[in-house]
Chains A and B, each alone.
Chain A
Amino acid sequence: MIALLRYQAVNLFRSHRWILPLICYVLLISVGGVGAGSSAVPAYLRAQTLADGLDWSAAILVPVVALLTRSMLTAEPAAARACVSAATGPARAQLATLLVAFAAGVVLAPVGASYELVTAGHKTALLLPFSEGLAKALTCILVGSAVGTLVNPPLIRHQAVALLSTIAAIVVAWVSSISPANAALHGNGATIQSSAWPAGVPMLAAFALVVVSWGASCWLAGGRGG
């Protein structure tokens, strides 16, 4: 499995398909994280407190990880995947691609959170919001991964449909009240209204979503057969 992960990670890096998600991440972080003092940015986009900034950096992980997952699921040519599948089975090969996209999200999360920490307006009581922010980021990575997995091959094979559903699913994950990412972000009442979800439930729900979506993706990976 380690050999598979290494192969997929190098494949992602060399395919340059990580560039678009990374640019999205950097742009969104910098827009959301512009200091409270700047009047060039509308008030609703300013990160006024560290908690706000951390919420923002976690929230944008949903689309970024969804796009990374899409990149991974479409990066490997079918025949190359077939060669790998013969050695390891299609399910393990699929799991490795999903894990690499997930890991890329895990690498990005502390980078964004640290940026928020550095640029935060009010530097009081840093540690608690920071660790809470990372927990929210993990929930958002899980949701992003589940979303990216559910609306891309092998679950949705039509290219245009997959792309459009990726965008739609990201929006749903952001705004709908049944989304664990949404619940996590509203959990402490920092940004909008407080959520009805008890603490810890959003992350568990996000984890369950990942198990279901990854399971389906791995199960279907051998369906079309390369």
Chain B
Amino acid sequence: MRLDAVGKRYGLRQPWIVRNVSQEVAAGRLIRLEGPNGSGKSTLLKMMAGVSTPSAGKVIGRPHTGYVPERFPAALGFGVREYLQHMARIHGLAAADAGTAVGEWLERLGATDYARAPLRTLSKGMCQKVAIAQALLSRPGLLVLDEAWTGLDQAARGALDAAVADRLSAGGTVLFVDHDPARLADRVDERWQLAGGMVIVVAGGAGAARAPAQATVIVELAGVEAASLPALAQLDGVLAVSGGPGIVGEPVTEPGLIAVTIRQAESDALLRELLTWDGVHVAGLRPAQAGPGQHRTGR
């Protein structure tokens, strides 16, 4: 599966929430999306799940997908088993297999007693179990979890962790967002950090999960006038500017680009500021070579 220059904005005059994300998504990997509130994590997840159509670019080769939304609504007129049975059929299971799969997942998530309960009467945690079950029924090649652990009891959290491991060992890809930095930390293969709507891919691993505050990022800018280089260097969070006439330092991928080394903690605000500059646009974003803790390998 591959993202090709994917971007999203909710209206022609609205700002881009996600911009120009080109990324290979290898099969069998566990990928964690990170970023502050409003950085576009859920938006990117939805596009990768096929729920939302990108405003620019496209998602290529998406396998069969199960998606667990951030909040699952109880406002549906179905019973638990009945809803899951419908979802299993929609996911392409035959009637008999659907019944078996529904029974299995209700049991794994500890929801068998609620099989007959109407969705409307369920607590938040039970609703979340239903949302998780519907995504896993068909054993999808791509599992997308948007804060799926929130509101679950201990046993169900364990069951979900095990289900993620199942998907990975079957060669599936799992994408997730979670507020707990320790979630599946020892298994994460890649961490995608969203800043200014763009993605910086960082290797996973337990150590890397505790992202250092000093991490730095290199932004490549096009269309910066020589006269505004000093102003650029003065901005909060900018550590170094290179690539301009007579300046050496970080290499740039194309001549004419300006490479700016910035502190990752401030990258979001900084990118927003830069995008208001006349004629300036961001050509690329990558972790700095010297960024501490960023190049530990995963498993």
Interface residues of A (CB under 8 A from B): 3-4, 6-7, 10-11, 13-16, 76-80, 82-90, 222-226
Contacts and interface: CB of A to CB of B under 8 A. Distances in A.
A85 B53 CA distance: 11
6 contacts: A11-B76, A83-B67, A83-B68, A90-B50, A225-B46, A226-B46
Given A82-B51, A82-B69, A222-B51, A77 B76 contact: yes
Contacts of B174: none
Contacts of B69: 79, 82-83, 226
A119 to B, nearest CB: 35
Interface in B57-104: 64-73, 75-78, 82, 86-87, 89-92
Contacts of B92: 3, 87
Kindly list the 4 A-B residue pairs having the minimum CB-CB distance in the complex, ordered from nearest.
A225-B52, A14-B77, A222-B53, A86-B67
A223 B56 CA distance: 11
Contact of B50 (A6, A10, A16, A85): A85
Contacts of B75: 77
Contacts of B68: 83
B123 to A, nearest CB: 16
B78 A226 contact: no
Contact of A4 (B53, B90, B131): B90
A90 to B, nearest CB: 7
Interface in B129-145: 131, 134-135, 138, 144
Contacts of A3: 86, 89-90, 92
A158 to B, nearest CB: 13
A7 B86 contact: yes
B43 interface: yes
B10 A15 contact: no
Contacts of A78: 73
Contact of A86 (B51, B70, B71, B76): B51
A90 B65 CA distance: 13
Contacts of A222: 51-53
Contacts of A6: 86, 89
A204 B43 CA distance: 40
B90 A84 contact: yes
B77 A87 contact: no
Nearest to A82: B51
Contacts of B91: 87
B47 interface: yes
A11 B144 contact: no
A4 B8 CA distance: 27
A4 B89 CA distance: 8
B90 A87 contact: yes
B210 to A, nearest CB: 32
B86 A10 contact: yes
Nearest to B143: A86
B76 A80 contact: yes
A79 B86 contact: no
B142 to A, nearest CB: 9
Nearest to A79: B69
Nearest to B66: A86
B49 interface: yes
Given A79-B72, A83-B131, A11 B77 contact: yes
Nearest to A89: B50
Nearest to B47: A225
